[in-house]
Chains A and B, each alone.
Chain A
C-alpha cells in the first residue's frame, strides 16, 4: 500500500548534508525522518527551524571565511 509521510524536504549539497546528519546524530535523531539521497533529506516539519539555526551556528563555527577587505 502506498504511504504518504508528511515532512519538509531539505535540498542541500553533500557537505551540508553531512553536517545536518551530524547534528541529527548528536541530538538523538530528533530531526531527520529519512535520508532520501545525496542531496535530499526529509525533516520533521516542527523541527526545521531549530535545525536551521543549529546549522547556522555550526557553519559560523567551522567555516571562518576570510573577511574581504572593505577598503579599496
Chain B
C-alpha cells in the first residue's frame, strides 16, 4: 500500500465540514491535489479549474475514450468523496435533464491561489531570518531524522526479538508520548515492562519510511481530538510541512497553539528539528518534506530504504547488505541492530560475527512471519531493496526458487478471502441488472458478479442506493 493511499483513506472518511475547513488553506489544497488524487482526477480538476461555467456530463463523457470509462468512474468517486466536485442536475423546460459538474468553490479558489501565488494567506510557511553560524546544515538534519526514526523502529522491533538495550548507536531513549502513540495505534502491546510488537507493528516496520511516517501520523490525527487539538489544524499543518524546503528554518510565530503543541511531538519523531523547545524557529527534516511526495525527488528514489535517503548513503545500511543463496541461506553484512532485528522477523538467524550475520529462510520462519501479518511480497521487497550489490547484478535480484518458495509458504495458510458488503439480487429484467452492474463496476465497488444468476456483490452500497433512488424519480 502506498503511503498516500493511507492518507487518502483517512481523508475520505472525514465529513464535509472538515473538508470545507481544510480547503481554506492553499497549501493544504495543493498538497491534497499533489499527493492524494488519482492521476485522472488531477487532469479533471485542472481542466475544470479555469472553466467559466459548469462542465456538462455529456461533454465529459465525450472527452473520455470508451476504454477509459472505468478510470473516469474511479476519479469521479474520489473527487465526490472528498467533496472537491459538486454535481448539479438541471431540468430544462423540455423535461430533458442535464447533469453538470463543478468544482467546490472554496477548493477552486485555493488551488488557483496556490498555482498563481496570489492572496495573502501565508500558508506556505514563513521563513525565519536566522543567519550565520546558528543555522544547522542539511547533513545534520538528515542525521537527526535518521537517528530519531531508527530509535522508534528499534524500540518496536528490538524488544520483541530479544535485542533490547545494549545500544550501539541505536536503541536510544524513546519519549513517553511516542510510546503512548505506538500503543494507541496498536503497533505495540505493552504489558508491564515487556513490549511486544503486534501484527500491525510488523507491517509498519517493513514499510518504506514515508509510509511509516504517515501511519504514525494518522494515529496521531485520530487521537488529536482527545488531546484537545483540532483535527483540521493538525492536518493542515502536516500538509504545510510537506510543502516546506529542507535546510530552511521557519518561524513559529504564525502557528496556532495546536500547531505549537504539535511541533514538540513532531520533533520527537524526527520530523522537525528545533534547536531548543523555546526556539522561535524550526527546521523541517527530510521526513517532513517528503510527506506529500511519495518517494521524493528523482535522485532519492534510487535509494529507498528504511533509513533516510541521500547524505547517509555511506553507511552500511544504505548500500545493500543481504546475500541469499538458492539453498535459502542468507548472509547479511551488517552490524546494525535494527537490520538484524528486522531480518530475524522472518529468518532463522544462526550465527553472528562482527560484521556479518547468517541464517536461513525456513518454512517455519516464513510462516511465523506470515501469521504475524507480514506478507511474502513485503519480505521479498525488503530483501530486494537491501540486496547486496553482487546480488543486484543478477537478472532477478533474488533467486527465483527462493522467491517462489516464500510465496508458496505464504499460500499454504491462505485459503479464503473475505469481503464484507452486500449481494444485490432479484432483478426484474436483464436490462435493469446490466445497468446496475455496470454502474457498480464503474464506481469500482463491484467485487463479484454472476450474469447467469443475475446477482452481484458490492463492498459499498451508498452510491448504488442513491443511484437507484434517483432512477426511480
Could you tell me which A residues sit within 8 Å of B by CB distance? 1-13, 16, 20, 33-34, 36-37, 40, 42-43, 45, 48, 52, 55, 59, 65, 68, 70, 72
Q: Does B426 interact with chain A (Cβ within 8 Å)?
A: yes
| B426 near A2: Cβ-Cβ < 8 Å | yes
Q: How far is the CB of B376 from chain A (nearest CB, A)?
A: 16
Which of B327, B360, B364, B457 is within 8 Å of A36, CB to CB?
B457
Q: Does A7 lie within 8 Å of B415, measured CB to CB?
A: no
Residues of B within 8 A of A (CB): 327, 348, 360, 362-364, 412, 415-428, 432, 436, 447-448, 450, 453, 455, 457, 461, 468
In the bound complex, residues from chain A placing their C-beta under 8 Å from that of B461 are: 4
Q: Contact check, B423 vs A34: say whether CB atoms are below 8 A apart.
A: yes
B423 x A42 contact (CB < 8 A): yes
**10 tightest A-B CB contacts, nearest first:** A12-B416, A11-B417, A3-B426, A9-B419, A4-B422, A5-B423, A68-B363, A8-B420, A16-B415, A9-B457
User: Given A9-B457, A65-B412, A72-B327, 13 more contacts at CB 8 Å?
Assistant: A2-B428, A2-B432, A3-B424, A4-B424, A4-B461, A7-B421, A8-B419, A9-B419, A9-B448, A10-B416, A36-B450, A42-B457, A70-B363
**Distance between B45 CB and nearest chain A CB, rounded to angstroms:** 33
Which of B364, B416, B423 is close to A11, meaning CB atoms less than 8 Å apart?
A: B416
**Cβ 8 A contact of A9, one of B412, B421, B426, B432:** B421
Residue in A2, A3, A12, A72 whose CB lies within 8 Å of B415: A12
CB distance from B92 to the nearest CB of A (A): 29
In the complex, what residues of A have CB within 8 A of residue B436's CB?
A: 2
Query: Once the chains bind, are A59 and B419 in contact (CB under 8 Å)?
Result: no
Write out the residue numbers on chain B whose beta carbons fall within 8 Å of the beta carbon of A55: 415-416
